[in-house]
Amino acid sequence: MYVCLCHAVTEQRVREEIANGATTPRQVAGGCRAGTDCGSCVRRIQAILGHEGARPCPTARLAARLGLAAPEEAEEAAEVAA
């Protein structure tokens, strides 16, 4: 499945970047350019990073703590923080 349509980057490619040490969307972008054009894929990349055990997005955690995140985002942030 494509994560970044602007650069035709698949979820598998993002996971390869994570396996190679990327822990932030910027580091993922450094390896495959995902997220460097329109930016609409960055949240998905952040979610993949969270599921891979990498550092969760601090903004998402804060939004969840303040009750500002959408229910699924709050749930995801809580899972990552646990």
Query: Closest separation between CB of residue 2 and ligand FES, Å?
Result: 8
Residue (3 or 64) nearer to ligand FES, CB? 3
Residue of the chain from 13, 18, 25, 35 that contacts ligand FES (CB under 6 A): 35
Residue of the chain from 20, 26, 30, 38 that contacts ligand FES (CB under 6 A): 38
> Quick check: 37 binds ligand FES (CB under 6 A)?
yes
> Quick check: 78 binds ligand FES (CB under 6 A)?
no
Helix axes 25-32, 11-19, angle to 10 degrees: 110
Distance between CA 55 and CA 38 in Å, rounded? 23
15 contact partners, CB below 8 Å, separation of at least 6: 48, 52
Residue closest to 60 by CA, chosen among 76, 49, 36 = 76
> Quick check: 53 binds ligand FES (CB under 6 A)?
no
